[in-house]
Amino acid sequence: MRSSIVLFGLLLAVFLSFPVLAASGDNDRPRAIEKYLGEFCAFERSSTIYQAIENVLERMPSKDFLNVTDRRRPVIFTEFYDSGTARFASSSEFIVMPQDAPCCQEGFTIVKLGLSLGLSKTKEPIEAVVAHELAHRVLDHIRKGNVNCDAERRSNALIKKWGFGKEFKEASRIFGQKKGDPAGCQEVPPRSSLAQPKVQ
């Protein structure tokens, strides 16, 4: 008698949890990430950059994770060489296997990660860089033509919302723009505009 009650309880639990799992489409994320990166990432599993990508995909909110790993419009992770002779040109090859489902019907995003990221001894600053690029994609900055400092700040704000505040600080310290670099965007408005705060 006791065992049948346990069994009934178990069946009920399975029944109740099934629709939730089926609806989320994200019930075994580590496995989904492994499969996804096996197809769309040029880095070796043993590399720090691969592990940083894996961690970011693991920690993103479900909706955004499903967005950036949608094989109709995947994010492709590839390297770029920022030193040595390969900095002039290099190629990455993505091989489609017969068993792979079709992809890219709605285009794709290429996230190019400079090999100088490897200068970081730890994964955290690389995670901030990866998260920042994925935030651009989630916010659709490139397709909407928003390539400016405001877009940079919005991406940084989104990754802080995702929980990468500490990693962001670390990345700013290690990879931050040098003073006077024309490509640099200020994280906060200049002092003069801070002097007269606007009330909204």
- What residue ranges bind Zn ion (CB under 5 A)? 152
CB of 46 to Zn ion, least distance (A): 27
Query: Which of residues 79 and 152 has its CB atom nearest to Zn ion in the complex?
Result: 152
CB of 195 to Zn ion, least distance (A): 28
Return d(Cα 118, Cα 115) in angstroms, integer: 6
DSSP state of 88: S
Cα–Cα separations (whole angstroms), residue 167 to 4, 127, 142, 162, 172: 50, 7, 24, 11, 9
Query: Which of residues 45 and 112 has its CB atom nearest to Zn ion in the complex?
Result: 112
CB of 135 to Zn ion, least distance (A): 8
CB of 174 to Zn ion, least distance (A): 16
Cα–Cα separations (whole angstroms), residue 131 to 50, 122, 161: 13, 15, 11
Query: Which of residues 54 and 152 has its CB atom nearest to Zn ion in the complex?
Result: 152
Query: Which of residues 29 and 126 has its CB atom nearest to Zn ion in the complex?
Result: 126
Return d(Cα 168, Cα 175) in angstroms, integer: 10
Nearest Cα neighbor of 156 from 182, 177, 133 is: 133
With CB atoms as reference, the residue minimizing the distance to Zn ion is 152
